[in-house]
Amino acid sequence: MATANKLAVLQKIKQEKSVLFGPFSNDLTKQKKCEKWKEVTDLAESLGLVTGKQWQYFRDTLWSNWRKRTLVSKNF
């Protein structure tokens, strides 16, 4: 079940990648990026993957770790 929940969050990140990872512009502001990361974190929290953590923790720590693990597993 946790794998399905994690996939749901990863799909949300993929859907919003242009906002989450795109360069700043007149249309894409820091506030918009923060709001999207909050949405992703809220989804992760609703699925039981994160509890009581700020969106910055999800962005800086959990997402980073998930990404690293995926990249390492693809190399083998």
State how far the Cα of 42 lies from the Cα of 18, in Å rounded to an integer. Answer: 19
- When computed from its CA atoms, the radius of gyration of the chain, rounded to whole angstroms, is 13
The mean per-residue pLDDT over the stretch 65-72 comes to 85
State the virtual CA torsion across 10, 12, 17, 19 in degrees, nearest 10. Answer: -140
Contact present, 43 and 7 (Cβ < 8 Å): no
**Chain segment 11-62, per-residue pLDDT in tens:** 999 999 999 999 999 999 999 999 999 999 999 999 999 888 899 999 999 9
State the virtual CA torsion across 66, 61, 38, 8 in degrees, nearest 10. Answer: 10
Q: What is the pTM of this model?
A: 0.86
